[in-house]
Amino acid sequence: MDVLYSLLNVDNQRLDMVVQEEMFTENLNFVITTSTDEIFPIADHKMDRFCRNILPIINNNVKSLILESGSMERILLAANYPNLTEIKLVNFTDKIFSRYFKAKSSVHRIFPQHITDLILVYKDSRHIFSMEQNTKELHKNIFNFFRNLQHLSLDGSCLFLSFRNLPLTTWYASNLKKLCIAVKRFDDCLALLDGRLKELTTFILDICTVNNNISTVYNMDDLPNLKCFSLTCDCSGKQYDSKIVPLLRRMFNLEELTLNIKIENRTRFIDGIHLKNEVFVRMPRLYKFTFHISTETKLDHLVHVLSSDDIQKTFNCHVFSLPPVFDTLHSIGNTFPSIVFSYVTFLLVHDDVPFEHEFFLRVAKFFPSLKRFNVLNIKSQSQISDSIAFTDNQLSSIVEYPHLIALRLGLSHTDYYEQFLNNTRTHLPRLTQLKVNYTRLTFVTENFTRDATRLNCTNVKQLLIREQLVHSEDFYIYFPVVTSFCTP
């Protein structure tokens, strides 16, 4: 693209014709940003030229724009886009909302009214939209302006909206067919499905809390127009049976179903027989089912008692479709299938028996995209000791986690500090966030003087510790780029 742009307007008619022929394709989807986050940036001088020379020429062909929020006004005012139907704004913030999406803002001047797809990707997890008043603002300035809106996606970690007690005229959208959203409570989901979104065919939903007490009486009619539904939530066994299953049974015309559910304290595990008898029996048109259902229960809660050889204290049963497509996996133990979990970026491992070196080699092999890793294990590793020389080839292999940026060891035995921080056992080239017990960290690093554990600490910027301490000079030499301390 850089080469193409460089040939435009160079005082050569033939080159101009060639470049414009290349640009005037039938469908153009441009990714334009000045940010370095995730998308390749355009430098300021190139952005000026792009807005001045390129956009006015190709504007009729542009159908989709993915914009960094800080540069969106510059791009949208550079030309008219009569065929633009989709806008995706990344790094969306409260400041951007206040400037463009409030009643007295210049939103009418910036955005084309014929947009059908609007995707807002939030930069920060702490947003004003968690408040009910701003949920109303969001509705007022999106649905009331984008009259043709058919797809709305609000994407952001821990961005949970609240819709309880909102009148039926609020968040009413007669044209909306696809909604991707996270809500605070289960009754927020019921509020959205009470008849205000009658044309909705695709609903992708993340519920923060499945609450037991629901004070408002909602319309619980069937949802005949819903064809695709995706649900992510954590709940108890009782909540699953009394809230989630009845919700699913309202969707009798469903064709695609995605479930990513963690269930605690249920007396029976979720299996194919349960799903067939309780859920699928009401979905005759269902042809695609993607799922990861984790059921956690105590040994004494099980209806069918298992032997002590099969289970210890707490049992986690994971059932999932192949290939695995979810980015988060909780509470797996020493035994997991030899399947490549390509999409998993967050993993929590927990067991009542030690995780040995070989286990972490398997994790590195079967979770190649891992970015965040939580280890919960209070049992000592039998193989880890400074006095033992590794002779077995597998044990002597260094574990490589090339993409890991966050590691949490706060509730783990000291041996796992040795396992991860000793660079003769594990290599963590991108580690920037580390949660630890300060006493164990001090012990393993020999009061921040040990060379073997120095390398994996070098790039840490955020150290999560509970203790409020005045750190030594050796500490700051050990963590040369640390910029913040948290006490979670």
The confidence score (pLDDT) of residue 373 equals 97
Which of 38-52, 220-234, 343-357 has the lowest average pLDDT? 38-52
The answer for residues whose C-beta is within 8 angstroms of residue 371's C-beta and 6 or more apart is: 345, 346, 403, 404, 405, 406
Which two three-digit tokens encode residue 459? 């790039």
Determine phi and psi for 267, rounding to 5 degrees. -75, -15
Residue 84: both structure tokens together: 């633009």
Which residues are CB-contacts of 97 (< 8 A; sequence separation ≥ 6)?
Answer: 128, 129, 134, 138
Count of Cβ atoms closer than 10 Å to residue 24 Cβ: 12
Question: Is residue 306 within 8 Å of residue 268, measured between CB atoms?
Answer: no
Q: Please report the sign of the dihedral spanned by the C-alpha atoms of residue 91, residue 209, residue 260, residue 194.
A: negative
Q: Please, what is the end-to-end C-alpha distance for the chain in angstroms?
A: 46
pLDDT of residue 323 exceeding 60, the answer is yes
DSSP for 300-363, please give it: GG-SSPPPTTT--SEEEEEEE-SS---SEEEEE-S---S---TT--EEEEE-SS---HHHHHHH
Confidence class of residue 385 from pLDDT cuts 50, 70 and 90? very low
Distance from C-alpha of 479 to C-alpha of 88, rounded to nearest angstrom: 38
Fold category of 324-488 in CATH: 3.80.10
SS3 426: strand
pLDDT, residue 394, reads: 46
Look up tokens 């699953």; give the residue.
Answer: 240
pTM: 0.81
Greater pLDDT, 430 or 483? 430
What is the structure's pLDDT at 400? 96
Is 80 exceeded by the pLDDT of residue 26?
Answer: no
Which of 378-392, 447-461, 466-480 has the least mean pLDDT?
378-392
Sheet holding 151-155, edge to edge: 28-32, 62-68, 86-92, 117-122, 151-155, 178-185, 202-209, 228-236, 256-264, 288-298, 314-320
Q: Does residue 170 contact residue 149 with C-beta atoms inside 8 Å? A: no
Q: What local confidence, expressed as pLDDT, does residue 369 receive?
A: 97
Distance CA 389, CA 404 (A): 27
**pLDDT top residue among 206 and 137:** 206
The DSSP output letter for 244 is I
Tell me the pLDDT tens digit for each residue of 149-198. 999 998 865 567 777 777 766 777 778 999 999 888 899 899 899 888 88
Query: Mean pLDDT for the chain?
Result: 82
Average pLDDT over residues 367-393: 74
pLDDT score for 152: 93
Whether 309 shows a pLDDT value over 80: the answer reads: no
Q: Looking at the chain, which residues constitute the CATH 3.80.10 domain(s)?
A: 324-488
pLDDT band at 387 (very low <50, low <70, confident <90, very high): very low
Q: Which residues pair with 419 in a beta bridge?
A: none
**pLDDT above 70 for 230:** yes
Q: State pLDDT tens for residues 95-119.
A: 777 777 765 655 556 788 789 999 9
pLDDT tens string 34-81: 544 444 455 566 777 778 878 888 888 888 888 888 788 888 888 899
Query: What's the angle, vertex CA 194, arms to CA 246 and CA 132, rounded to 5?
Result: 110
- Which pLDDT value is given to residue 424? 94
> What local confidence, expressed as pLDDT, does residue 331 receive?
83
pLDDT at 134: 61
Please check the confidence at residue 305 and state whether its pLDDT lies above 50. no
Residue 389, pLDDT score:
43
Tell me what pLDDT residue 259 has: 96
Mean pLDDT, rounded, for 351-375: 95
The region that residue 321 occupies, defined by phi over 0 for left and psi between -120 and 50 for alpha, beta otherwise, is: beta
User: Which pLDDT score, from 0 to 100, does residue 10 have?
Assistant: 59
Compute, in degrees rounded to 10, the torsion defined by CA atoms 317, 319, 322, 323: -50
What is the rounded average pLDDT of the residues 127-144? 61
- Give dist(CA 279, CA 263) in Å, integer: 16
Q: What's the pLDDT at 352? A: 87
Handedness of CA 295, 297, 302, 305 (dihedral sign): positive
Query: Quick one: average pLDDT of 383-396?
Result: 46
CA dist 54 and 49 (Å) reads 7
- Read off the pLDDT of each residue in 267-275 and give the average, rounded to a whole number: 86
For position 126, what pLDDT does the model report?
Answer: 47
